Amino acid sequence: MFRSYLFSILTALILLACNSNPNTVEDFAYTNALINETSPYLLQHAHNPVDWYAWNDSTLAKAKRENKLMLISVGYAACHWCHVMERESFEDTAVAAVMNANFINIKVDREERPDVDQIYMNAIQLMKGRGGWPLNVIALPDGRPVWAETYVPKDEWKRALSQIQTLYEDSPERLVDYAARLEAGIKSLDLVEINRNEVDFSALKTDSIVAAWSNRFDDKDGGIAQAPKFMMPNNYHFLLRYAVESKDKELLDFVQLTLKKMAFGGVYDHVGGGFARYSTDMRWHIPHFEKMLYDNGQLVSLYSDAYLVDPNPLYKEVVYETLQYVADEMTHESGAFYSSLDADSEGPNGELEEGAYYIYTEAEIDSLITEKPALFKEYYSINNYGKWEEENAYVLIRQQADPEFTAAHQLDQNTLDALKSGWKKTLLDYRNTRPRPGLDDKSLTSWNGLMLKGYLDAYRVFNEPKFLEAAIKNANFIKDKQLKADGGLWHSFKDGKSTINGYLEDYASVIDGFIAMYETTFDEQWLNLAKSLLEYAQEHFGYTDSRLFYFTSDQDAQLVSRSIEYRDNVIPASNSIMAHNLLKLGHYFDQPDWIKDAQTMLHNVLPEVAAYPTSFSNWMQLGRNFQNEFYELVVVGPQAEDVLAEINKTYIPNKMIAASTTESDAPLLKNRFIEGETFVYVCVNNTCKLPVRTAAEALPLMGY
């Protein structure tokens, strides 16, 4: 009822239109309250003529005190359409006059305040059945939303604001009534009903779920048969695991096709390494050019594991080039990782253009590539297949694997590798003379946890020392800068300052990363830190009746609704990561209640899994650990590192590692150290098989 009620009031306000010409003001002619913020996204708007405020207690109090509607505009630094709307509307003095006269205008960086973003994204989903950024919301002075839209052209934006303000002045009760209905809808979205059935994970019919899911596969270009295409690393991590465990060659072929096509496509930066956020088309060709830390961290993990299943040199190349990009472009000297690179940069005409930093004209290529230019053009599709939207502009994209290409051109791989290296250096050197895309140089704790895990997974597979060095440096940054005095976490870090109380996503990702740190270094400080962070989350993020955690701490100001994030998206849901953490830490510290909590969390989301598998793939990963044997792999002795390095050459997704080169009182290690001897224990639920001495003896005990 509340949806139709809104439409009957505001249908005329909800319009989509094409671009209008920008009307900008001079730089620094105006300065608003955002000048005091650290978020690069908020600072981008600090000189708009709009009287922007940050989301904080004083701003919310101001709205209530003045009894004004709040205009809440949510975006992020790398968002292309956020920039378009700023140029068209927020830099326009006539638009600013309307906004300033009638509204308390609030700019929100969705990456700094995912809690605020989540509430209002839920609202627009209820209103429209869709969402995106920029997310523009009008709310009552108490924060309850009454209208929402994404990008709106300037004229429609002014018209919508005027009509809503008129409605607020003439018939405020209609907006209040609608806000109450919508509030009830928002609060109902994240409710997870208690699953009253007996806990039985055979009810998770993975075979039939994957079979139904496969009807949406793109068997030509990989991924889901739709555009735009998002990489969704946690989807393919699960499908990779399931294909290997079930010996499903057809599914494994599809996963490998997807990984190959993503790495061949323009969505992968063939010159500088790293992935853009998504492809705008079906063949992974034209990306939305922004580069996000969270995508690249997860994709490094995915390609590393895929290499263990199939040692394809392409996968190794992707991992090494992506981590080189992260080291060069996304890493602070402290070891912290930055958030993103913008899609837009200054083009030849002096204006911001999407992709300007990354594309090449044919004339540029002809002048730059002097070594085997015809071969270069064929390798990177400088032809009709590789053309972008503009005439004679190209995004590099591959169509052949190296063995096919070398065979077709009578080349050996070493020669091709040397050519590729020279081509890439030439284009990168040239590209670096261009104006660079904007860097969002804040460091988000949750995303740092994902990238930390990426580095550790790459080290586990490739045994590259510099990967471990980067991981250790980042873990120490999190420990030294983002760990609060009370044992909790900060969410954001910039310019030497840690800010914003941490969200569940921060605890989930960091605990996962710290567990991986322990499994890699055997240093128990990381395992103990993971345990203390879990206990802090249990205290401050509460358990609901479904045993799921709230997204926000009990120390945070109350919003319209206290949300529960449990559906996986481009990043796995914080609750699904926490359930994995509970399982592992329950084993590490002999806490069966934590394992039971993980089971209960999974059990309560099961009713939704079959209908929406792409939104529950990380949960299904957890389900595999309960459906099959989950191994506690314990290695103790002076040769533990060498034994584990050998074991890690095999893809074993259903294991956790406890290891030490000395005596330890940890539950899984206690009384297992014998001076001068190295033993491997393969255990399931604290029941161990007879110890063995080598990886070759241990692997068959796990079915490998």
Of the two residues 24 and 270, the one the predictor is more confident about is: 270
Residue 316 pLDDT? 98
Using pLDDT thresholds of 50, 70 and 90, give the confidence band for residue 27. low
Average pLDDT over the chain, rounded to an integer: 93
Domain end marker among 627, 645, 661: 627
207 in a structural domain: no
Q: Do residues 512 and 580 make contact, with C-beta atoms less than 8 angstroms apart?
A: yes
Q: What integer pLDDT is reported at residue 531 of this predicted model?
A: 98
Q: What percent of the chain has pLDDT over 90?
A: 86
Overall average pLDDT of the 586-609 stretch: 95
Between 291 and 200, the more confident residue is 291
Dist. CA 622–CA 410, nearest whole Å: 47
Does a structural domain hold residue 505?
yes
Note the pLDDT of residue 130. Answer: 87
Model pLDDT, residue 105: 98
Clarify whether residues 636 and 580 are in a common domain: no
The CATH number of the domain holding residue 694 is 3.40.30
**213: in domain:** no
Query: Please, are residues 561 and 492 in contact by the beta-carbon 8 Å criterion?
Result: no
Kindly report, residue by residue over 292-309, the tens digit of the pLDDT: 999 999 999 999 999 999
pLDDT class of 18 with cuts at 50, 70, 90: very low
> Residue 501: its pLDDT value, please?
97
- Chain centroid, CA 649 distance in Å: 27
What integer pLDDT is reported at residue 575 of this predicted model?
98
pLDDT grade, residue 25 (50/70/90)?
Answer: very low
For residue 422, the surrounding DSSP H or E stretch is helix 413-431
Contact 503, 574 (CB under 8 A): yes
Q: What is the structure's pLDDT at 193? A: 83
The domain that contains 124 carries what CATH number?
Answer: 3.40.30.10
User: Does 390 reside within a domain?
Assistant: yes
Residues 553 and 672 in one domain: no
pLDDT of the residue at 391: 67
Mean pLDDT over residues 544-568, rounded?
A: 91
**Quick check: is 378 in a domain?**
yes
Residues 611 and 647 both lie in one domain: no
The predicted model gives 390-400 an average pLDDT of 88
Q: Are residues 395 and 334 in the same domain?
A: no
SS3 labels along 435-487 = CCCCEECCEEHHHHHHHHHHHHHHHHHHCCHHHHHHHHHHHHHHHHHHECCCC
Same domain, 506 and 572: yes
CATH code assigned at 486: 1.50.10.10
Number of domains in the chain: 4
Inter-residue contact 224 to 231 (CB < 8 Å): no
Cα–Cα distance between 516 and 693 in angstroms, integer?
23
Do 228 and 272 have their domain in common? yes
Same domain, 422 and 452: no
| 617 and 640 housed in the same domain | no
Task: In whole angstroms, give the CA distance from residue 266 to residue 278.
Answer: 10
Compute the average pLDDT of residues 448-468.
Answer: 98
Peptide bond into 134 cis (omega under 30): yes
Residue 131, domain member (yes or no): yes
Name the least confident of 183-197, 266-280, 351-365, 660-674: 183-197
For residue 302, what pLDDT is reported?
Answer: 98
Strands 278-279 and 655-660, by their bridges, are unpaired
Q: Which residue has the higher pLDDT, 242 or 2?
A: 242
Q: Tens digit of pLDDT for each residue in 614-653?
A: 999 999 999 999 999 999 999 999 999 999 999 999 999 9
- Answer yes or no: are the C-beta atoms of 532 and 538 closer than 8 Å: no
pLDDT range class, residue 11, cuts 50, 70, 90: very low
Q: Give the residue-averaged pLDDT of 336-354.
A: 91
Q: Are residues 400 and 504 in the same domain?
A: no
One-letter amino acid at 636 equals V
Torsional sign, CA 13, 16, 22, 24: positive
What pLDDT is recorded for position 15?
29
**Separation CA 580–CA 594 (nearest Å):** 10
Q: List the domain range (segments joined by +) for residue 69.
A: 2-189
* Of 366 and 544, the one with more pLDDT: 366
| Domain presence at residue 197 | no
Q: Are residues 572 and 667 in the same domain?
A: no
User: Considering 414, 433, 452, which residue would you say is the last residue of a domain?
Assistant: 433
Q: How far apart are CA 470 and CA 455, in angstroms?
A: 7
What pLDDT sits at residue 267? 97
pLDDT of the residue at 187: 86
Note the pLDDT tens digit of each residue in 109-163.
Answer: 999 999 999 999 999 999 988 889 999 999 999 999 999 999 999 999 999 999 9
pLDDT for position 2: 37
In a domain, residue 49? The reply is yes
Over residues 668-676, mean pLDDT? 93
pLDDT tens-digit series, residues 70-98: 999 999 998 889 999 999 999 999 999 99
Does one domain contain both 488 and 383? Answer: no
Is the Cβ–Cβ distance between 40 and 303 less than 8 Å? no
Lowest mean pLDDT among 130-134, 311-315, 541-545: 541-545
The Cα 652–Cα 672 span in angstroms is 23
Beta pairing class for 135-139 and 69-75: antiparallel
Residue pLDDT, tens place only, 569-581:
999 999 999 999 9
pTM of the model: 0.92
Domain final position from 382, 407, 433: 433
Does 426 lie in the same domain as 444?
Answer: no
